[in-house]
Amino acid sequence: MAANGENPANGRPIEDGFIRIRNVTKCFGDFTAVDDVSLDIGKGELFSILGGSGCGKSTLLRMLAGFEVPTAGSIEIDGQDVTALPPYERPVNMMFQSYALFPHMTVEKNIAYGLVKDGAAKSVIAARVDEMLSLVQLGDFRKRKPAQLSGGQRQRVALARALIKKPKVLLLDEPLAALDKKLREHTQFELTGIQYETGITFVVVTHDQEEAMTLSNRIAVMNKGRFHQVGTPKEVYEFPQSRFVAEFIGTINTFKGRVTAVEEERVVVACEAAGCDLVALGRHLLGVGDEVEIAVRPEKIFVSKEEPPDDGGVRLQGVVDDLGYLGNRSLYRVKLPGGKVVQVSSQNRRRSVTRFLEWQDRVWITWQPLSAVVLVD
Amino acid sequence: MKKSGRFSLTMLAFGYAFLYVPLVLVVVYSFNDSRIATIWGGFSTRWYGELLRNDQVLDAAWLSLRIAATSATLATILGTMAGLALARFGRFRGRTLFSGMITSPMVMPEVITGLSLLLLFVSLQQLTGWPGQRGFSTITIAHTTFSMAYVAVIVRSRLAAMDESLEEAAMDLGGRPLRVVFDITLPLIAPAMTAGWLLAFTLSLDDLVIASFVSGPGSSTLPMYIFSKVKLGVSPDINALATLIIAFVSVGVLAAWLATRRRA
């Protein structure tokens, strides 16, 4: 059920350019919050905009909702230019981070508000409200006020209220940030389920990379008002195009070095910190002598006490500097002779009470060239 | 430990005595049979009877109540509009100036407010012929002027504490800006508006200085009447009047407390 990169829009074909953001810039005084951004989002996609605080993601979302007008550029939704339309005339609804439930209205009245403002017939409103209440499983709470609900219930009321008008696009501002961890995991699946059922295009803004990975078909990683990379969760995680993306999503080990040879699909990089040449698959146009970084995810590195066979991969020797047991996996910090510390994550496949490695153990770490990425900037 | 407990109890007793002994004295002496207000001559309710037969007092009280109700209502409407403008309509040109100026009637000495309003009314009369006679309308306008500042401050602070995304959510769902004000903003700031109205009402009922400046012949508010009577010596029926006002205020405060407690 969970949407992921292998299954765009849950199997439905993505209709391209449902939302077209063209060269949008937003300045507040001297500060440029969003800097010449262009993006296409397909119909039925669950799209995430991921970035740290102050990266401009919320401003972009508010421009989609109509609360901010772009300084330059245009926004089109389903072929209609909405750049200058006020929020109450857009085919877009938003779920706010604070949920923004009207405290003086019951759950029922909150959910009905959008249709009431559209002047829908009473019978239509009643039917739609019932439909929404059963979608979010809050039938028993219809007469309650928001103050009498739990955090998770409030979140579902906010979702129902934003969905009742069947918007072309639903905007979600940090939809799970206010929930505790267990509830968050449950709600993630619920959200993707509802998205699948309704077929509405979701645009999620979040600072939580895990949330973005599990929810979305595609992710745009944003920093300082610009997109660094747009792609499926897998592309963004496995093939980060910049140092920022590599470090923002998950943890990664990086080795600075200079290109010594460029082969057909591989580059050889001389790296002082590693004490040897590193080999990686190059996806960039590199020349000999270029300064680059080789990046490897901790879970792509194997650690062993015995010397591994030379199978063309990278083999380094080091000492276990620190280790941490997390239950499902263990983390090791391996110090190389040059002083560089490499993080390694390994699955605890076998059950054992004794440690497989101890502090100060001499170990080998290895990875395949396929697992390493070359970062240019 | 015990000593400090006794000490704070004593201080508390002194504090409350300071606040309430004068009021209790007024209430006690209002039931005094003697014609001289400061000598006890036995229990009686005769001054209450005399008060009710005194048309001057009743007229003054009625005028004060009418002025207080009207000016409080006008001040609430104007003050709410000013509070909304200050808290919600972004950083418009001159907002800081406007925001400073709205509070100036609160810090301005009443004598100056009264004097300037009197000058305004006099020159208005010379230019336009209105107000022909100073009285109910001029006092009401004067009271509205200074009490709307209090309402504006209360409403603005309530709005500042309110999540702005509530109004955005309503607009996002299709509410036009004016509709949103009536659907969302006003119901949520209603408690602040009520508090503002009550404060404006009390301020108006209480005011002596400004009313003295802008009133005309034959239009004395209750505080003006009491003050003019007391200048000629304290008469016992004033004690009775004061007791009635204390009772009126106490009931009002109690009712407001009960109402807010039930809502919470």
Q: What is the pLDDT of residues A242-278, one digit of tens each?
A: 889 998 988 899 888 888 888 877 888 888 877 778 8
Name chain B contacts of A96, Cβ cutoff 8 Å.
165, 168-169
- What is the pLDDT, as a whole number, of residue A15? 56
CATH code assigned at A135: 3.40.50.300
Q: Does A59 touch chain B (CB under 8 A)?
A: no
A351 pLDDT band (50/70/90 cuts)? Answer: confident
Residue A375 vs residue B251, higher pLDDT: B251
Q: How far apart are CA A17 and CA A13, in angstroms?
A: 13
Task: For A103, name the nearest residue in chain B, comparing CA atoms only.
Answer: B188
Instruction: Give yes or no: residues A74 and A89 share one domain.
Output: yes
Flag the least confident range among A160-174, A353-367, B189-203: A353-367
CATH code assigned at B155: 1.10.3720.10
Task: For A166, name the nearest residue in chain B, comparing CA atoms only.
Answer: B173
Query: What are the C-alpha distances in Å from A275 to residues A79, A263, A317, B70?
Result: 56, 21, 10, 87
Instruction: Give yes or no: residues A240 and A350 share one domain.
Output: no
* Domain final residue pick, A195, A228, A247: A247
- What is the pLDDT, as a whole number, of residue A377? 66
Name chain B contacts of A165, Cβ cutoff 8 Å.
173-174
**Three state DSSP letters for A73-99:** EEEEECCEECCCCCHHHCCEEEECCCC
Is B206 part of a structural domain of the chain?
yes
Task: For A87, name the nearest residue in chain B, comparing CA atoms only.
Answer: B172
* Domain final residue pick, A178, A212, A247: A247
Domain that holds residue A320: 253-375
- What is the pLDDT, as a whole number, of residue B3? 66
- Helix/strand/coil for A313: coil
Name chain A contacts of B166, Cβ cutoff 8 Å.
100, 102-103
- What is the pLDDT, as a whole number, of residue A4? 40
Nearest CA among B200, B188, B219, B199 for reference residue B64: B219
CATH code assigned at A371: 2.40.50.140
Instruction: Give yes or no: residues A241 and A308 share one domain.
Output: no
Is B47 part of a structural domain of the chain?
no
Q: Do A93 and B172 touch (CB under 8 A)?
A: yes
- What is the pLDDT, as a whole number, of residue B69? 96
Buried b (16+ CB within 10 A) or exposed e, B202-235: bbbbebeebbbbbbeeebbbbbbbbeebeeeeeb
Q: How do residues A210-236 score in pLDDT, each as one tens digit?
A: 889 988 999 999 999 999 999 999 999
- What is the pLDDT, as a whole number, of residue B262? 66
Is B221 part of a structural domain of the chain?
yes
Is B37 part of a structural domain of the chain?
no
For the record, the structure tokens of A270 come out as 């001389």
Helix axes B55-88, B136-161, angle to 10 degrees: 40
What's the structural domain count of chain A? 2
CA dihedral A86, A89, A93, A94 (to 10 degrees): 10
Q: How do residues A292-315 score in pLDDT, each as one tens digit?
A: 888 899 999 999 888 888 887 888
Is A2 part of a structural domain of the chain?
no
Distance from CA of A66 to the nearest CA of B (A): 8
For the record, the structure tokens of B208 come out as 């002596």
Domain that holds residue B93: 56-263
- What is the pLDDT, as a whole number, of residue A355? 76
Is pLDDT at A190 greater than 80 in this prediction? Answer: yes
Instruction: Give yes or no: residues A227 and A104 share one domain.
Output: yes
A96 CB neighbour count, 10 Å cutoff: 22
How many residue pairs bridge chain A and chain B with CB atoms within 8 Å of each other? 59
- Helix/strand/coil for B68: helix
Q: Do A96 and B168 touch (CB under 8 A)?
A: yes
Instruction: Give yes or no: residues A239 and A261 share one domain.
Output: no
Q: How far apart are CA A331 and CA A322, in angstroms?
A: 8
Are B234 and B38 in contact by the 8 Å Cβ rule? The answer is yes
Q: Do A104 and B188 touch (CB under 8 A)?
A: yes
* Local mean pLDDT, 10-residue blocks, chain B (264 residues): 79 94 90 81 88 89 94 96 85 80 86 93 90 90 93 92 93 94 94 92 92 90 90 82 89 84 63
- What H or E segment, with its residue span, contains residue A346? strand A341-347
Is A1 part of a structural domain of the chain?
no
Q: Do B166 and A102 touch (CB under 8 A)?
A: yes
Is A16 part of a structural domain of the chain?
yes
What's the structural domain count of chain B? 1
A284 pLDDT band (50/70/90 cuts)? Answer: low
Whole-number percent of chain A with pLDDT over 90: 57
Instruction: Give yes or no: residues A127 and A212 share one domain.
Output: yes
Q: How far apart are CA A64 and CA A70, in angstroms?
A: 10
* Domain final residue pick, A185, A212, A247: A247
Is A3 part of a structural domain of the chain?
no
Is A107 part of a structural domain of the chain?
yes
A287 pLDDT band (50/70/90 cuts)? Answer: confident
- What H or E segment, with its residue span, contains residue A367? strand A362-367
Is A50 part of a structural domain of the chain?
yes
Q: Which residue among A67, A161, A162 sits closest to B168, beta carbon to beta carbon?
A: A67
Nearest CA among A375, A39, A25 for reference residue A231: A39
- What is the pLDDT, as a whole number, of residue A3? 38
Q: How far apart are CA A280 and CA A294, in angstroms?
A: 7
Q: Which of A61, A94, A159, A172 best probes binding to B when mutated, by most B CB atoms within 10 angstroms?
A: A94
Q: Does A125 touch chain B (CB under 8 A)?
A: no
- What is the pLDDT, as a whole number, of residue B251? 92
Q: Does A168 touch chain B (CB under 8 A)?
A: no
Is pLDDT at A14 greater than 80 in this prediction? Answer: no
Instruction: Give yes or no: residues A261 and A217 share one domain.
Output: no
Is B45 part of a structural domain of the chain?
no
Q: Does A87 touch chain B (CB under 8 A)?
A: yes
Average pLDDT, chain A: 88
Q: How far apart are CA A318 and CA B180, in angstroms?
A: 65
A247 CB neighbour count, 10 Å cutoff: 14
Q: Do B172 and A117 touch (CB under 8 A)?
A: no
- What is the pLDDT, as a whole number, of residue A5? 38
Distance from CA of B187 to the nearest CA of A (A): 7
Name chain A contacts of B165, Cβ cutoff 8 Å.
96-98, 100
Q: Does A205 touch chain B (CB under 8 A)?
A: no
Whether the model clears a pTM of 0.90, i.e. scores above it, the answer is: no
Instruction: Give yes or no: residues A154 and A190 share one domain.
Output: yes
Q: How do residues A74-100 score in pLDDT, each as one tens digit?
A: 999 999 999 999 999 999 999 999 999
Residue A308 DSSP one-character state: P
Q: How far apart are CA B152 and CA B85, in angstroms?
A: 10
Instruction: Give yes or no: residues A111 and A206 share one domain.
Output: yes
Is B36 part of a structural domain of the chain?
no
- What is the pLDDT, as a whole number, of residue A9? 44
